[in-house]
Amino acid sequence: MPFEDPRCLMCRKCCIETEMILLPSDIERIKRFTELDIDRFAVFRDGFYRLRNVDGRCIFLDDNGCRIYPIKPIGCSIYPLIFDSIHGPVIDSLCPLAKEFIYRCRDIEEALNLLKDFLRELEDSYSYRVNWNTFYRESKRLIDMCNRR
């Protein structure tokens, strides 16, 4: 997985007030792994299933970390790369390691490929429309910026 770093396991900032969209493939993996019904771990809001928060934290976050880490949602796997509907793929500045991750070219390329798959499934599953021109233009910008370092 891209952007693996032991400091992430201690930070967990991305697990607080999460808005993580769940794809049908994420939902099925989580259901098989946890044996929970979807309404126990997800909410349907703004046209998407999203990870449920309990007391402002992802339902799967406890004192020992992520309880579904081995099968975590694709969006969690590629964080801090996120897709902004206006700006395309960006490294989330809320991540404390964002300034380091922006120069990990292989991770960015791997995450962009996973994001592309994520967005295709999002289109198929939720009738979401991706501006692919923005996606490809901003993906190239991220990779070029990384390679210039």
Assess if residue 119 is contained within a domain.
Answer: yes
The structural domain count of the chain equals: 2
Assess if residue 2 is contained within a domain.
Answer: no
The last residue of a domain, from among 73, 93, 126 = 73
Kindly state the tokens that stand for 131: 């501006």
pLDDT in the model for residue 149: 75
**Alpha-carbon distance values, 10 to 70, 95, 118, 148 (Å):** 16, 13, 26, 30
Of residues 116 and 148, the one with the higher pLDDT is: 116
Do 58 and 118 lie in one domain? The reply is no
For residue 80, say if its preceding peptide bond is cis, omega within 30 degrees of 0.
Answer: yes
Assess if residue 124 is contained within a domain.
Answer: yes
**What is the Cα–Cα distance from 128 to 122, expressed in whole angstroms?**
6
Q: How far is residue 50 CA from its own chain's centroid? A: 11
For residue 44, the enclosing domain spans 12-73
Do 96 and 66 lie in one domain? The reply is no
Residue with tokens 């499934």: 121
pLDDT tens digits, 9-68: 889 999 999 999 999 999 999 999 999 999 999 999 999 999 999 999 999 999 999 999
Do 69 and 101 lie in one domain? The reply is no
Kindly state the tokens that stand for 103: 């120069």
Beta-strand runs (E) in the chain: 42-45, 48-51, 53-54, 57-58, 61-62, 65-66, 81-84, 88-91
Backbone angles phi, psi at 89, to 5 degrees: -70, 130
Q: How confident is the model at residue 4 (pLDDT cuts 50, 70, 90)?
A: confident
Q: What is the mean pLDDT of the chain?
A: 95
Do 26 and 47 lie in one domain? The reply is yes
**What is the Cα–Cα distance from 80 to 3, expressed in whole angstroms?**
8
